[in-house]
Amino acid sequence: MTAALLALALAAGPAPVRVGSKEFTESEILGALATQVLVTGGVPAEHRRALGGTRILWEALRRGDVDVYPDYTGTLAEEILGGAVAPDERALRAALRPLGVGITGSLGFEDTYALAMRRTDAERLGIRRISELVRHRGLRFGFTNEFMDRKDGWPALRARYRLPQRRVRGMAHDLAYAALAAGELDVIDVYSTDAELRRHHLTLLEDDRRAFPPYRAVYVYRLDLDPTALAALRRLEGRIGAPAMIDLNARVLLDRASPEAVAGGFLRAALGLAPEVRVEGRRERILARTREHLALVGTALAGAIAVGVPLGVLAARRRRLGRVVLGVVGLVQTIPSLALLVFMIPLVGIGAGPSIAALFLYGLLPIVRNTHAGLTGIPPELADSARAIGLPPGARLRLVELPLAAPAILAGVKTSAVIAVGTATLGALAGAGGYGQPILAGIRLASIPLILEGAIPAAALALAVEAAFDALEPVLVPRGLRRGPPAPPGGSRART
């Protein structure tokens, strides 16, 4: 048996190298470049895109959920190593080696943090350096959520320059550009290779007190990465200059090309490679996202039913314990869905796991509460009749109580299912796919069609799920307990 399993594993070939990327355009392009250069080098690889911020990717790498991802020397030095080492490649390699992690050489460009203003405002106020912001307390700042909390972000910047501004908002990177262009913000954080800098005619403020360390782009990888894969990645060292990276970003953000197509074109031009780039059509994308979304919702809902109904029965039969059970599942429901999802990532890794776990926990309350309400709402005379004819407790529950509570239980399951369909869109942040993937991509690219590509199917699926449960009611609910049309005025509803 063991020999057969080994032969099967060898026949299946080596596991693909899992390339991760963060949730912004440049990281996705670099992830696509790594994936394609690996595949053209004969190394199977897959791209797990838009997995969130630095910490999520770092923990995923340490845990073995991904094998390589793009990052920057300043980020590694400050955010990962806490500023304990200088942000140069030799010092970083020495500090990362005991952690089982290595980095390639620089890819050829630096993408540093910077602050930007509308050019007209900067000229009107005479602001050219970050230190000059001190004189303008009323300016409205908007920074990416990660920048707000990073050690090398807003906290370090505020301390270095003694900035007095308090009107600071956290938001998604691409939304900050839109808010700046609309005049709702005055200063935002940017990356020096952002394509939007050209489109919005922005002025970069000089970091005259050197608050930001160097941010040279590298690939971060596990030291157990196959040497052939590492050799393929090293082909990109020094090959991507800053102008080239700005152009690649612009082609995705402004020309609406896919990261895969842009990466393929660069590899053909710069390295003479011929990667096979397969771009999904819209219908194919929607079908794939639908399968992923249904898998997330179905798995989580099945688990919630399997656990929630017994918990509801327990809560109904043991009143004191029941209050504790209802309190706990109610408390879980108060946790923001995004916070619960992120909390699950360190526990179960990235991919479908954290999404299913979060959806399972969110699905418990409607099922437990409705099961409890259905059982405790059974008329006493019916329960007494079941006892009087000598039915044991298990038979009473199976033959009398659960059928009588079936309408309430089914309503709870339906509520749980509809909630899961909507909440599952957040699973894209953890690499679970589903309808959240085009929604997040659409927000990042300011593309209404992409947002609708995820939002409309999600809404349609929620309506379809509700209709499916309505159709199941005649099958699962005893005839005498089904909901019927209201009685006509002055008349009575016929008995069935």
The CATH number of residue 173's host domain is 3.40.190.120
pLDDT at 6 over 70: no
What domain range is 42 assigned to? 15-109+215-271
Q: How many CA atoms lie within 13 A of 46 on its CB side?
A: 9
pLDDT at 155 over 70: yes
pLDDT at 493 over 80: no
Give me the residues paired with residue 202 across strands.
Answer: 118
Backbone angles phi, psi at 334, to 5 degrees: -80, -15
Domain termination residue (choose one: 247, 271, 295): 271
**Residue 289 lies inside a defined structural domain of this protein:** yes
Q: Are residues 266 and 305 in the same domain?
A: no
Q: Are residues 342 and 326 in the same domain?
A: yes
Q: How confident is residue 384, by pLDDT bands cut at 50, 70 and 90?
A: low
pLDDT at 494 over 50: no
pLDDT at 492 over 70: no
**Residue 392 lies inside a defined structural domain of this protein:** yes
Any idea which of 27-36, 98-107, 246-255, 469-478 has the lowest mean pLDDT? Answer: 469-478
**Residue 417 lies inside a defined structural domain of this protein:** yes
Backbone angles phi, psi at 169, to 5 degrees: -115, 145
Any idea which of 175-184, 334-343, 480-489 has the lowest mean pLDDT? Answer: 480-489
Whether residue 225 contacts residue 148, with contact meaning beta carbons closer than 8 Å, is answered with no
**For the chain, the helix, strand and coil percentages under 3-state DSSP, each to the nearest 5:** 60, 10, 30
Quote the pLDDT of residue 490.
43
Burial 118-140 (b: 16+ CB within 10 A, else e): beebbeeeebeebbbbeebeebb
**Residue 2 lies inside a defined structural domain of this protein:** no
Task: Give the pLDDT confidence of 421-476 residue by residue, as tens digits.
Answer: 999 998 887 778 889 888 887 877 777 888 899 999 999 999 999 899 888 877 76
Any idea which of 101-110, 373-382, 472-481 has the lowest mean pLDDT? Answer: 472-481
Give me the residues paired with residue 59 across strands.
Answer: none
pLDDT at 368 over 90: yes
Q: Are residues 138 and 156 in the same domain?
A: yes
Quote the pLDDT of residue 459.
93
- Least Cα distance to 286 among 132, 418, 146, 450 occurs for 450
Whether residue 496 contacts residue 483, with contact meaning beta carbons closer than 8 Å, is answered with no
Q: What average pLDDT does the segment 16-44 reach? A: 93
Which residue is associated with the tokens 């007494």? 384
Structurally, the chain folds into a number of domains equal to 3
- Least Cα distance to 107 among 247, 251, 233 occurs for 233
pLDDT at 237 over 70: yes
Tokens linked to 126: 């005479």
CATH of the domain at 358: 1.10.3720.10
pLDDT at 246 over 60: yes
Q: Are residues 374 and 236 in the same domain?
A: no
Q: Compute the mean pLDDT over every residue in the chain, rounded to the nearest whole number.
A: 86
The more confidently predicted of residues 8 and 103 is: 103
CA distance 198 to 117: 12
* Distance set, CA 65 to CA 19, 81, 214, 230 (Å): 9, 20, 28, 17
Quote the pLDDT of residue 131.
95
Angle between helices 448-476 and 402-423 (to 10 degrees): 170
CATH of the domain at 93: 3.40.190.10
Give me the residues paired with residue 71 across strands.
Answer: 218
